[in-house]
Amino acid sequence: MIFDEKSLSAIEEMAARRDIDAIEAMRNGAPQRARAEKGYLRSALMVSGHRVRHLNRLDILEADIAVLNLEDGVAAELKETALHLIGLFLAKTQKISAKTVVRINPLKEGGREEIAYLNTVLPDAIRVPKVQSAADVEEALDLIDERIAVHLSIETKEAWDALGELRLSPRVEAFYLGVYDLLASMKLPISVMQLHNPTMQAILSRFLLKCSVLGVLPVSFVYQNYQDVDGFENWCLLEKRMGYHAKGCVSPLQTEIANRVFTPDEDERRWAERVVELFESRSDSSAFTDEELGFVDEPIYKNAKNLLQILAMLDRGEG
């Protein structure tokens, strides 16, 4: 935990009064924490920016990404207080293992002002919602401190149509699939959100493939029914089979499930180690067959090497 109970109670009182000056006096300086070393990201947990006790757990979260939320779910009258609370907790935390991402409001609805403040507290990334075009991304890149990465919420039909044009810089690291808003924007019924619905699978497939071509992390949608544990896990299992490895989460239990499902298992490790061992022991790089592995050629070897790199990152705690 970041603050002890006495300090936490004082912060809660400041938040209840919406006493921005007191919160800022307590922050008193720029953050000193080290940047999160995360190479393989599986879970993106939403943390409400106005909930003091949730923010106080930032240093012990099991999530790979902590999305500190200022947008949906934070009432309009609480947004400014939430922004300064996020600044306080980011400034006073010595070490956060999760990548810290602040989800701001749309640029024209307070997002520009929020960016100006966040540039002083240096989260790992700022997530920009409701983008519609490359021009929106260009504006965000101009506004956001170059030390801060840029993440985008893909949740409008315009952004969906322009998906291939939105990575204007290597600083644009991740796209989040905001499927509920996207369906509403496209005037598609929410009933398509079923595991085996062809429209939903087409959305997931296009999003994954386009992100992979662009070189950005595709983070699959938040499953809002947090009580439906089996439903959430089934979506994770489907998305892993499709090729995803990162999922939006709204509870610690969802985070635990996503981390487990998207971590390569021991069978996958043994397969990759065996492929690499046999391929690299040969005198040439020609294809071969093996009783256990079947046909093995260079693309399969490269796939196995990629998997071992992921496992090495996880073994080092970089995930």
- Report the pLDDT value the prediction gives residue 291, as an integer from 0 to 100: 85
According to DSSP, the β-strands at 288-290 and 294-296 are antiparallel
Predicted local distance difference test score (pLDDT) of residue 128: 98
The model's pLDDT over 68-116, given as tens digits with 9 standing for 90+, comes to 999 988 999 999 999 999 999 999 988 888 999 999 999 999 999 999 9
Please report the domains of the chain, with CATH numbers, ordered by start residue.
5-261 (3.20.20.60), 266-315 (no CATH)
Report the pLDDT averaged over residues 187-195.
96
- Per-residue buried b or exposed e for 2-13, using 16+ beta carbons within 10 Å of the residue's own CB: bbeeeebeebee
Per-residue pLDDT, 96: 87
Query: DSSP letter string over 240-296?
Result: HHHT---EEESSHHHHHHHHHHTS--HHHHHHHHHHHHHHHHSSS---EEETTTEEE
Region 281-300: mean pLDDT is: 87
Backbone φ, ψ for residue 97 (5° rounding): -75, -30
> For strand 99-103 and strand 294-296, is the pairing parallel, antiparallel, or unpaired?
unpaired
Residue 93 pLDDT = 86
Position 32 confidence tier, pLDDT thresholds 50, 70, 90:
low
pLDDT of residue 285: 75
Any idea how long the chain is? 319
pLDDT in tens, 241-264: 999 999 999 999 999 999 999 999
Rounded Cα distance, 172 and 209, in Å: 17
Q: CB of 296 within 8 A of CB of 279?
A: yes
Alpha-carbon Rg for the chain, nearest whole angstrom, is: 21
Rounded-to-5 percentages of helix, strand, coil across the chain: 50, 15, 35
Q: Which of 28-32, 150-154, 245-249 has the lowest mean pLDDT?
A: 28-32
Residue 11 pLDDT class (50, 70, 90 cuts): very high
What integer is the mean pLDDT of 281-308?
89
pLDDT of 169 higher than 70: yes
Residue 282 has pLDDT above 90, yes or no: no
Name the token pair of 277. Answer: 């061992």
Query: Is residue 30's pLDDT more than 70?
Result: no
* Statement: residue 35 has pLDDT above 90: no
State yes or no: pLDDT of 31 exceeds 80.
Answer: no
